[in-house]
Structure 1
Amino acid sequence: MRRALPLPLGLLAALGTPLPSLAAPSVELGQVLITDEAQDELIDAGERLRETPGASNLVDMQRVGQGRVASNQDVLAYQPGVFAQSAGNDGIKLSIRGSGINRAPGAHGSGVYTMFDGLPLTGPGGTPYELFEPLWLSRAELLRGANGFDQGSLALGGAINYVTHTGYDAAPLQVRYEAGSRGYQRRHVSSGQVLGNLDYYVALTDAEYDGYQKHSSGSAKGFAANVGYRFNPNLETRFYLRYRETENELAGRLTKAQIKHHPRAANAAYLARDDSRPQPGSTWVGNKTTFFLDDDSRLEAGLVYHDFPMDLREGPMRLKVAYTDVSGTLNYLRRDTLFGHQSKTTLGWRTTKHLPNSGASQFVRNGDEFGPRSRDFSYQGSDTVLHAGNDLELAPDLWLTTGLAMIYTRRESAVSYPADGGKVSLHDWDYAPRLGLRYDIAPQLQVYGNLSRSVEPPHPWSLIWSSTVATQPIELENQTATTLELGARGDSVLGRWDLAWYYAQVRHELLAVEIVAGLPAKEANASPTVHQGIEAGLDSTLWERPGNGKLSLRQAYTFSDFHYRDDDRFGDNRLPGIPMHYYQGELRYDWPSGFYAGVNTQIASKVQVDYANSYHADAYALLGARLGWDSPKQDWQTWLDLRNLTDKRYAATVTPGYDDAGQDVARSTPGEGFAAYLGVSYSLR
């Protein structure tokens, strides 16, 4: 029997209580000043998200920057519907509505379509993390579930668009330095300006850390740049460049007993082999050009080249991987009047294709000694999506959303050494319809609902790694899901709130499982599963007096119930990997002078660590604190970020096994103990 705990106090009570004005969903704005251009961009993004009949989040990086900004975990904190936990390096475990719940942190992500500036990052091989640097961002836009449809996203978890600074919202010069526990340092310098019709942004960032566990140190360095030009009011273009190198030692996963008594230890096997993951350098180059055809229509064209090689020194092997893909996008957006009713139409096409050099070579390994080549194999894949959507105002404030997407996927893998193991070639057409309604009951209250289908093909490398025969790839089917979502958002006496419920029936779910500890997980199609949950957020002003300051509380709660439907082996067992209940909250006081201080908490229920549900990682509750100062002139900023004040020992992430038979197996990555981080930033205005 599955029973949901009550929502945190105040979340449900906020429903239906009218108040002054409706803000964009989940916008994080604190006591900070930003330029008029940046403010307008944020407001426009919020309005676009609100026109979607489904759940969304808008993250303002000004608020995120008032503390340590080390990884995507910091960016996606306090976001309802999102589980994001770091494994101690750049790689995080990210799950939205059960996407990628069984993936190891740092592996190429699944189930969420990720973009940089509206251009594809996710490809047939998943979503690599090497190019992600949070200090380069101005905001992040999340469209949960099927709500990323107009971006060409058909993933179960939806879409995330990470938006880089431009010359319009960046300072002519910004310098930032972060330092903290266990050798953590992050240095950042950037510049952005508008020079007539041209604007530019360029940033250089590097970081290093010793890590919480033994043998978990790492470093990263890279730069980002973009330059835009407005030829005339009807034509503008922007070029983007990202390059980043990372290097991480790997400490491996621990047992529950080890986390309780020796959380900073490394997995003995990882330590003996000196496992590591150097990323020789990833490059992402893109262009987006917009043609404004008239006042009511525009055409957006994009092109991306992405090269991301890897040198994986994990387990009893070394794997040198070459990945290169190219993407193209084309979107046509138009506003019309249809039979006297407003109509908004989007037609889109996107494609991503691996280039021929994508493949890998495997070498025998003995510690730091690398032996002869033992296997060569290739990865080839492509995704092409055609989508058409329309928003039609049926009556004042009542909008009907319809859409249909077609996706063509190709997955090919072949072993060429030591013997020709044949070739698996999967080609498939699939479809994803969408139907939604949204109604603005009042300027302060909106309700919505949608019914949709999602499609996710396997990674090409899964065809190789999931095989038990070294020279023979296997075949996998596309994962599909039909999802019903209902929700509402608005303003009330208790603050700005949003609430969503969803229910998804998933077929052929792609689940990976680590059968032999320390060896790559095997992926297979599961029997039918159910993903259902509740996502709730509430930002409240508890007390405010002009000239004296403001006391506020922000909360995010996610209830996740993912389980089999009458599986022959596991019945209705829960799918392992993330907690059923996950809550984050922050109570904060802001003074008019720019000082602020707050306390925060993170609470998670226990997590099953295998599909048999024979063992679990314990529930935990963390406490933190943050205080800082933002100059009224918007030039100086400083902060102190204290985390895990009670030095709680807990499992931050779980990489599931198949059936541990009740044994305490090394499946979990320990969360960081007590840590203190200090930062200072200067921006020339």
Structure 2
Amino acid sequence: MKRNTRAIVAALAVVPCAVIHAQDTQTHTLRAVEVMAEREGDQSRKEVEIERSVTPGGVTVVEGEALRQRNVTSLSDALRYTPGVWSASGSTGDSTFLSIRGSNLDATNYDGNGVKLLVDGLPVTAADGNNHNRDVDPLSMRRAVVARGANALTYGASTLGGAINFISPTARDGAPWEVMVNGGSHGQRQGRFTIGTVAGNFDMLVTGEAKRYDGFREHQNQERQGLYANAGFQLSDSVGTRFYVTGIDNQQQLPGALTRAQFDANPRAAEASAVLGNYRLNVQTARVANRTVWQIDGESSLTAGISVEEQKLYHPIVYAPPFFSLLIDTTQRNTGATLRYQRKSGDHDMLTGLNYGRTTVSGGNYSYVPGGAQSIDTAVSNKADNLELFVVDRWKFAPQWTAVYGAQMVSGSREVRNTTVATNAVRNPQADYDSFNPRVGVIRDLSPTSQLFANVSRLYEAPTLYELEDDVRGNNATLDAMRGVVLEVGTRGSHSFDRHRVHWDTALYYGRLSGEILSLDNPLAPGTSLSTNVGRTIHAGLEALVGASFALDNAGAHRIEPLVNFTLNHFKFQGDATYGDNRLPAAPRYAIKGEVLYRHASGLFFGPTFDVVGRRFADFSNTYTVDAYTLWGLRAGYTTRQWEVYGELRNAGDRKYVSYFSVRDVAGANAAILTSGEPRSLYVGARLKF
């Protein structure tokens, strides 16, 4: 494996360098494309590309327009071609496992920590770091910026995996009126519409969606409706404000997990207790937000924002009568605020920011009978707040050289208050978490469209409320925050030569963590977990996205466009008293996702897709191995300025594979932990623009 790794690293290093030293006669063509986007009114594209170009580390931009040419029903689908991301969806679209650079590698499918999610720069992640990615609809975004690891400093994020900022389309940015429909295997039906208007200093855009999914497993039905709206007011030549409203009603059944024998016999079956206990994940979400920008002058701006969100969760998850049943019925309220001041002065571009978040969780954990009585066992009243102050300076100290340095200060508190109703006993762990996290990096421009970069940064992440609630020690003990340092080098860019184009985005990183928080499944209460700090761990890897567009004729009307996302992971304990140098579970050693499409100038495209995923461990003891798998499929479509259609065949060979799983300390052969991946599936969709 080491020999293969060296070969891959060498290849990825040689390709960009060879391209960079090729002829530069076509670089003006790339600039012309940028000017066209700006003329069409899409201002956020320019802002995003500038932000990416002055970040000395892994940042990937996902364009929402490209997602409309394939079947996208989950965050996992949307992030398919984002290097460094391991994401899997084996239940329904709103139950996506998300890990970036080895974050969230434990047992808790319901506690998606390690990545800060934002919409238009305002958080949809709770103040304690817990994120519910079901809040985010990928098809309702203009584009997303994925800042991996410490490269999320400009968002103020303090998370191991970094941050993802989803940018909403607006009527003023030229978002079209459109109707989209898709459907296919396993009873999938989805429809959505977008309408908007611009009237003088006012603009508004509204998107509505409805989705139904019967599922490829028993007890896997989902029904979801969503509304996403924003309205902007240009208050003066220098001040603009925008309001955002989101409402989501998601009702879904959970099929549970299978043992290896059950998976081998019938991967489409549901866990018996999931059917008997009617496991569900029902969430109602309401969110309002505002973002105001004051362009003070040509060199400085001030941005202020605030968001308020409420989530009502109804979540039967354990049913093992007469011994134990668990239904989580809670209301979570999140409030977030941000303030950002940016000023350019000579060769310096400085950004100063402040983020504040507060989360409260009220409700309880219940014993229940499906369709019948429920009685409260534990009353829950938890709260968290988090303050992030950050400053970044981008200093162009020489031609083609930019130094990027800054720091983040984070200060937060966590308090869990669980009252056992039968005895009135109170468990009340609470703690404060503070840290100063510096960062320094450098960017070398190799050409107008390509760069080398490097950085060294401090990592820090405080525990979530769920992790404190499930501390393995019980009582009022509290977990420590995880800390570490990461070194990163890489290159990104694009280049044109003759009638051909190539682009790449690669990064190599090495991080050492102390006190990483991991959650072990509780064998006495399946579906729940116990959290603990471990000693030293290593998070390292290679991330690469490489694509091209090769002309097959002199006019460039016929093109072949390969795209490959390659991620190599090296996540392990380091000299742990219990686990030695074992690998961390959940994430595969390598993952390759790609496609090779033929495109014609008329709008026709078709070609194969492929997924090659390495083996994974399902326990910290490295005794339970989940097999590697290879999938292939086909994509085809036709697109014009007014309409487009597509078809997508997934897992054409109908391969049985495990999408994701719960993690154990030591997983026995009969452990019910496996979630089946999607079998052979066919989807078609259409879009009409007005």
- Equivalent position of 2:466 in the other structure: 461
Once the two structures are TM-superposed, the CA of residue 4 in structure 1 deviates from its matched residue by 5.5
Letter in 2 for 1:346: L
Letter in 2 for 1:88: S
Gapped runs of 5+ residues in structure 2?
319-324
Q: Kindly indicate which of the two structures has a greater share of residues assigned to helix.
A: 2
Whether 1:627 aligns to 2:630 is no
- Equivalent position of 1:194 in the other structure: 198
**8 Å contact 1:170–1:192 — kept in the other structure?**
no
Task: Output the CA distance in 1 between the equivalents of 2:10 and 2:383.
Answer: 50
- Equivalent position of 1:237 in the other structure: 241
Task: Output the CA distance in 2 between the equivalents of 1:347 and 1:366.
Answer: 53
**8 Å contact 2:292–2:305 — kept in the other structure?**
yes
Matching residue within 204, 208, 214 for 1:204: 208
Supply the RMSD in Å over aligned alpha carbons: 2.3
Whether 1:666 aligns to 2:668 is no
Identify if the C-alpha distance between structure 1 residues 110 and 344 changes in structure 2 by more than 3 Å, giving closer, same or farther.
same
Matching residue within 231, 245, 254 for 1:227: 231
Task: Output the CA distance in 2 between the equivalents of 1:538 and 1:56.
Answer: 14
Identify if the C-alpha distance between structure 1 residues 561 and 139 changes in structure 2 by more than 3 Å, giving closer, same or farther.
same
Task: Output the CA distance in 2 between the equivalents of 1:248 and 1:104.
Answer: 18
Deviates more, 1:551-560 or 1:41-50: 41-50
- Equivalent position of 1:386 in the other structure: 389
- Equivalent position of 2:322 in the other structure: none
Residue by residue over 1:282-319, the C-alpha shift from the partner in whole angstroms, topping out at 9 and shown as x without a partner, is: 11111010111111000000111011120111101212
Letter in 2 for 1:498: D
Whether 1:345 aligns to 2:350 is yes
Once the two structures are TM-superposed, the CA of residue 452 in structure 1 deviates from its matched residue by 0.6
Letter in 1 for 2:580: G
Matching residue within 151, 164, 179 for 2:183: 179
Whether 1:491 aligns to 2:494 is yes
Residue by residue over 1:58-85, the C-alpha shift from the partner in whole angstroms, topping out at 9 and shown as x without a partner, is: 1111111101121111110111111111
Matching residue within 513, 518, 524 for 1:511: 518
Whether 1:156 aligns to 2:164 is no
Residue by residue over 1:12-61, the C-alpha shift from the partner in whole angstroms, topping out at 9 and shown as x without a partner, is: 44121224467999x9x9xxx98943555324422321111111111111
**8 Å contact 1:54–1:449 — kept in the other structure?**
yes
Whether 1:75 aligns to 2:78 is yes
- Equivalent position of 1:101 in the other structure: 105
SS class of match (2:134) = coil
Matching residue within 359, 364, 367 for 1:364: 367
Task: Using the aligned pairs only, state the percent identity.
Answer: 27
Matching residue within 540, 551, 557 for 2:548: 540
Task: Output the CA distance in 1 between the equivalents of 2:682 and 2:55.
Answer: 40
Letter in 2 for 1:416: T
Task: Output the CA distance in 2 between the equivalents of 1:97 and 1:151.
Answer: 17
**8 Å contact 1:175–1:681 — kept in the other structure?**
yes
Once the two structures are TM-superposed, the CA of residue 373 in structure 1 deviates from its matched residue by 1.5
SS class of match (1:324) = strand
Once the two structures are TM-superposed, the CA of residue 261 in structure 1 deviates from its matched residue by 2.9
Residue by residue over 1:435-493, the C-alpha shift from the partner in whole angstroms, topping out at 9 and shown as x without a partner, is: 11111133243111111112111111322233565xx4431111112111111122356
Task: Output the CA distance in 2 between the equivalents of 1:2 and 1:669.
Answer: 30
Letter in 2 for 1:375: T
Letter in 2 for 1:513: L
**8 Å contact 2:91–2:255 — kept in the other structure?**
no
Deviates more, 1:71-80 or 1:117-126: 117-126
Task: Output the CA distance in 2 between the equivalents of 1:50 and 1:393.
Answer: 12
**8 Å contact 1:651–1:669 — kept in the other structure?**
yes
Matching residue within 593, 606, 621 for 2:602: 593
Task: Output the CA distance in 2 between the equivalents of 1:10 and 1:674.
Answer: 33
- Equivalent position of 2:321 in the other structure: none
Whether 1:607 aligns to 2:607 is no
- Equivalent position of 1:577 in the other structure: 586
Whether 1:525 aligns to 2:533 is yes
- Equivalent position of 2:64 in the other structure: 61
Task: Output the CA distance in 1 between the equivalents of 2:384 and 2:180.
Answer: 40
Task: Output the CA distance in 2 between the equivalents of 1:605 and 1:8.
Answer: 18
Gapped runs of 5+ residues in structure 1?
none
Identify if the C-alpha distance between structure 1 residues 210 and 24 changes in structure 2 by more than 3 Å, giving closer, same or farther.
farther
Identify if the C-alpha distance between structure 1 residues 172 and 395 changes in structure 2 by more than 3 Å, giving closer, same or farther.
closer
- Equivalent position of 1:289 in the other structure: 292
Task: Output the CA distance in 2 between the equivalents of 1:426 and 1:401.
Answer: 33
- Equivalent position of 1:558 in the other structure: 567
SS class of match (1:257) = helix
SS class of match (1:305) = strand
Once the two structures are TM-superposed, the CA of residue 508 in structure 1 deviates from its matched residue by 1.1
- Equivalent position of 1:324 in the other structure: 333
Task: Output the CA distance in 2 between the equivalents of 1:271 and 1:208.
Answer: 19
Residue by residue over 1:151-173, the C-alpha shift from the partner in whole angstroms, topping out at 9 and shown as x without a partner, is: 11121111100111111345552
Identify if the C-alpha distance between structure 1 residues 22 and 389 changes in structure 2 by more than 3 Å, giving closer, same or farther.
farther
- Equivalent position of 1:680 in the other structure: 686
Task: Output the CA distance in 1 between the equivalents of 2:549 and 2:232.
Answer: 39
Task: Output the CA distance in 1 between the equivalents of 2:653 and 2:436.
Answer: 50
TM-score by length of 1: 0.93
**8 Å contact 2:67–2:139 — kept in the other structure?**
no
SS class of match (1:463) = helix
**8 Å contact 1:343–1:392 — kept in the other structure?**
yes
